[in-house]
Amino acid sequence: MYTIRPVILCGGSGTRLWPLSRELYPKQFMELGTGTLFGNTLQRVAGLKGLGKPIVLCNEEQRFFAAGILQELGVRAEVILEPTARNTAPAIALAALAAREDGEDPLLLVLPSDHTIEPAEAFHRAVDHAAQATGEEMLITFGVTPTRPDTGFGYIQSGEEVSPNLFRVARFVEKPPVQEAERLLAEGGSHWNSGIFLFRASTYLKELERHAPEILLACREAWASRTRDMDFVRVGKEAFSSAPAISIDYAIMEHTDNACTVPLDLHWNDLGSWSAFYEAGVKDAQGNVIVGDVVTQDTEGCYIHSTRRLVATLGIKDLAIVETADAILIIDRMKAQGVKTLLNTLRASSRCEANTHIKVYRPWGSYEVLVCGLHFQVKRLIVKENEVLSLQMHFHRAEHWIVVSGTARVTVGENVLLLGEDESTYIPLGTRHRLENPGRIPLEIIEVQTGSYLGEDDIVRMEDTYGRV
């Protein structure tokens, strides 16, 4: 009997799904009404045969999103933090080194954390078939049966059949123009590249040594200098940063002689653009996908997503409209891949909307900017029960805290206060302070900041439960 360790890659930022997905709150961790994509991925792999402990790879900013969902679902996993983004080939190398740590050599099922796959049972059957067919040197990739000549996906062309429903890979085709995609579908034997892989940990490391030794060297050095922080494994930053930033497709799969593919005949979507969300959504009589508070007239073939305000449309067709608290996107639905370019323009202008929402999530809860002006800012803080912020100080701002609901334990200098509803305290500039929720219900605080500089980088942490010092 084989053992499968799922390797779930969570490092993506979902840039093509702006303004809903942002760098500090990417799509895999967003609550979509049916759970999060990361949580759904964890639940999907729970039904696999021979299931071993999952390995989750994410970055520093996203680690508490991942940890919170794991805890909520009751899933024990090894969470490895990537100190910098180096794409999938180095990330999977860390997972392979972790899987080999106790002398074991399990099968690694590498999965993006932000796909939809239905029905799960069909996926389980395909993985089981691949696991039983996997030879010692095989690297298996799963190809999705295409339903249209989509130019947003890569394609896998199948070669000779090694065994029933297992084929050698003839070649990979990277996101072809529409004429090429149409030709591939007409010829048959081509599938969408799902980005899902299965191979033994040792096989992947051997292939790295053969085709990308600089990645293996950097990752081995990074793994050798790892430390454990709470439930997280931190690898050496300097060593890992020296690894080339390259995908598994370019580093290994396009060079190896051992690539094979198993077809997936099921519903799959990588939800990589607003047009993909449209394709996956439930459509009304006019072919619109509606999410949130939306009223339409003479509107056809649109994806309209409202998070806070009423969105009303009249006389439009084939658009994607996405509303959030601080930004609205209106785009031709067929040009949804261009959102990434638009986002780069916002970043070049140093627009904060490119990276964060008005509501920002932290391991202790969240904060939301209500008003921002010259030398003052008002925030609403929600602190989860039994959570505590870092002991900190600011060089450029003072703060005034008012308790709206719940109970706050506040440290101001050498004093510790217990504040209830409608009570407040003042934290002078340069004073050490801390906020804690000792209660069993969420604590809501209004924070008024005043000072010459109000940026989030004006925080000096002395102590922190979450290892952010």
Domains (range + CATH), the chain = 4-269 (3.90.550.10), 280-347 (no CATH), 359-463 (2.60.120.10)
Cβ(65)–Cβ(73) below 8 Å: no
Six-digit token string for 66: 């991942």
Quick one: pLDDT at residue 23? 77
Structure-block tokens of residue 231: 């439930």
The number of beta carbons lying within 10 Å of the beta carbon of residue 380 is: 16
pLDDT of residue 469: 63
Tell me the pLDDT tens digit for each residue of 127-143.
999 999 887 789 999 99
For the record, the structure tokens of 21 come out as 């997905």
Q: How far is CA 402 from the centre of its chain?
A: 34
Quickly list DSSP for 353-411: GGT--SEEEETTEEEEEEEEETTEEEEEEEE-TT-BPPEEE-SSEEEEEEEEES-EEEE
CA atoms of 114 and 234, how far apart (whole Å): 23
Q: Which amino acid is at 375?
A: H
Question: Quick one: which of 409, 406, 414, 413 has its CA closest to 440?
Answer: 406
3-state secondary structure of 256: coil
Q: What is the pTM of this model?
A: 0.83
Tokens of 358: 């008005």
Going by the DSSP 8-state scheme, the letter that residue 51 receives in this structure is B
* Residue where the block lists tokens 């996101």: 175
d(C-alpha 112, C-alpha 319), whole Å? 28
**Cα dihedral 253→256→258→262 (10° resolution):** 20
* Largest CA-CA distance found in the chain, in angstroms, rounded: 76
From the list 351, 330, 348, 352, the residue with the least C-alpha distance to 339 is 330
Residue 151: per-residue pLDDT: 82
Q: Are 79 and 232 in contact (CB under 8 A)?
A: yes
The single-letter DSSP state of residue 145 is: P
Residue 33, pLDDT score: 66
- Distance separating alpha carbons of residues 433 and 425, to the nearest angstrom: 11
Q: Are the beta carbons of 252 and 109 closer than 8 angstroms?
A: no
Neighbours of 318 (CB within 10 A): 16
> Rounded CA gap, 39 and 60, in Å?
19
On whether the CB atoms of residues 374 and 453 are closer than 8 A, the answer is no
Query: DSSP character for 215?
Result: H
Beta bridge partner(s), residue 445: 381, 403
| Phi, psi torsion values for 100, nearest 5 degrees | -90, 0
The per-residue pLDDT for range 403-451, each reduced to its tens digit, is 999 999 999 999 999 999 999 999 999 999 999 999 999 999 999 999 9
Using CA atoms, how far residue 294 sits from 311, 323, 329, 398, in Å, is 5, 10, 15, 41
Residue 78 CA: distances (Å) to CA of 107, 290, 328, 397, 400 = 16, 38, 38, 39, 40
Strands 408-412 and 433-436: antiparallel
The two tokens of residue 259 are 């690539």
The CA-based dihedral angle spanning residues 6, 10, 11, 12, taken in that order and rounded to the nearest 10 degrees: 120
Distance CA 416, CA 339 (A): 49
Residues of the chain with pLDDT under 70: 33, 468-469
Q: 438 near 371, Cβ under 8 Å?
A: no
Q: Check residue 415 and give its pLDDT.
A: 95
3-state secondary structure of 166: strand
